[in-house]
Structure 1
Amino acid sequence: MEFEKWLVERLKARGFYKLNDVNPRALIDALKAFQKANDLTQTGTADDVTVHELRKDVGGAGSSQFQLGPAKPADPIWMREARRQMGILEVPGPKSNPTILGWARALGGWVANFYKDDDTPWCGLFAAHCIGLTLPAEKLPTNYLSALAWADFGIECEPAIGAILAFRRDGGGHVGFYAGENADSYVVLGGNQGNSVKLSNVEKRRCVGIRWPKTGGAQIGGRVNATASGGLSRNEA
């Protein structure tokens, strides 16, 4: 069972969640309501104290029975959303992938009117979707379609799973999420990499920013030694 689905089940059993599926924004609201009712810090995240309380059986505060459920994931929530989108592809020709266009519509604002086809670079749109959906209180770059705008997003940080990496490239930039590294390149999970959402190696020397969402909580772990198949990415347009 996915961790978020387990959270939904536990929150529904206590009357704090009304939907049948996982909606990240509704889940944040439900977690805050549950935390308030149980005198916990209202973070809207599944922190250790909240998960411990949710594992208790519904029989009452004094119950000694616990539902273990799935382990709490190490990846931050926006990285888990990014992994769920792996394999999304542009549609060749005049048509566009409705999933990619749907990200722009859901984010709203000027981008919803501007973004009309997946031939428009969408690595920034993908990053905005993953973070905007799962961290609704996070302030996104004003022009999040610009990959280089992400170099000033959030706060500066060290590499760790889920960190936002901004890169320069000929004619523009690229943005994606840190998934690991080797000697000369970062393994990046991003959109518009070979016209899809996938893992790619991107040269470290091109990196101009390593950032973390202000509302993303503490980083878990640090650098990860890893490799990605497909060789070195040199153009993410």
Structure 2
Amino acid sequence: MKIIDIQIALAKLGFTPGPLDGIWGRQTAAAVRAFQAKNNLEVDGIIGPMTLAALLPGVAQPTDLTDPSLVWFKEACRVIGTREKPGAGSNPIIIDWATDLGINYGRDDIPWCGLFVGHCISATLDREPTPNGLLGARSWERFGIRTDPTPGAVMVFWRQSKQSGRGHVGFYAGEDATAYRILGGNQSDQVSLAWVLKDRLVAARWPSTVPAPVPHAVTIRTRTEVLSWNEA
């Protein structure tokens, strides 16, 4: 299910989700809250099973990566392909993510996987706290609540060595027997999908303002990409 489907349904019922552009932002979240309040639902701005059933009767709640409640993951998907600007200068999109978060971020050759996750969370979950020092991937170990790996979870990994203090962070997008498929920033200098060994996982976290999931795997049977080892 797509965000645009939610926006169109809200607009048809007289609510105001903002531009019908498939981008989840504050106006869409506010429209969902208004819809929930009018229909005696929990006012959390999340398209959970009860809200979806009231908004789009007969449409089942997906439990995979198409779940409409995973708005931060959908934002991550929307910006796949965003990459650093080679050579001098920086991609203004990446710089704007930092500006929106109030971060003094000089240039896009500074590791930005934490910035990418911060953008996706803050742009879609307007009441969700982000960790201090979010540019540091390992700072995301303090984010939200603990979960097991599941669609949309924030996945934190060690990088170079377990003792280095360095890390990588992205979103769960599947797994096979030995590795997780991660949708992350600064993977080959862009927002992309990459495979990271399960042995490197430090923590899986979930937004505290979103109902806790029932963790489950999305199994991918064929891995076509090589393993990622040093995301920076």
TM-score, with length taken from structure 1: 0.85
Q: Does 1:134 align with 2:133?
A: no
Map 1:1-237; keep pairs closer than 5 Å. 3-17=2-16, 19-21=18-20, 22-55=23-56, 73-74=66-67, 76-108=70-102, 111=103, 114-170=104-160, 172-219=166-213, 222-226=216-220, 228-237=223-232
CA distance in structure 1 between the partners assigned to 2:27 and 2:36 by the alignment:
14
Q: Work out which of the two has the higher radius of gyration on C-alpha atoms and give 1 or 2.
A: 1
Inter-CA distance 116–228: structure 2 relative to 1 (3 Å threshold): farther
Deviation track 1:164-183 (CA, whole Å, cap 9, x = no partner) reads: 11111125211011111222
Deviation track 1:72-92 (CA, whole Å, cap 9, x = no partner) reads: 632611111111111111110
Tell me the secondary structure at the aligned position of residue 149 of structure 1: helix
Q: Is the 8 A contact 1:184 1:204 kept in 2?
A: yes
Identity over aligned residues, as a percent?
41
CA distance in structure 2 between the partners assigned to 1:213 and 1:40 by the alignment:
20
Q: Amino acid of the residue matched to residue 233 of structure 1? A: S
Q: Is the 8 A contact 2:141 2:156 kept in 1?
A: yes
Deviation track 1:162-213 (CA, whole Å, cap 9, x = no partner) reads: 1111111125211011111222221111000110111111122221111111
Q: Amino acid of the residue matched to residue 225 of structure 1? A: T
1:115 CA drift (Å): 0.6
1:139 CA drift (Å): 0.8
1:100 CA drift (Å): 0.9
RMSD: 2.1
1:116 CA drift (Å): 2.3
Deviation track 1:30-60 (CA, whole Å, cap 9, x = no partner) reads: 11111112222212112232223323xxxxx
- Number of paired residues? 221
Tell me the secondary structure at the aligned position of residue 27 of structure 1: helix
1:225 CA drift (Å): 1.9
Deviation track 1:129-163 (CA, whole Å, cap 9, x = no partner) reads: 11111111111011110000111211111111111
In structure 2, stretches of 5+ residues that fail to align are none
In structure 1, stretches of 5+ residues that fail to align are 56-65
Inter-CA distance 150–34: structure 2 relative to 1 (3 Å threshold): same
TM-score, with length taken from structure 2: 0.87
Tell me the secondary structure at the aligned position of residue 44 of structure 1: coil
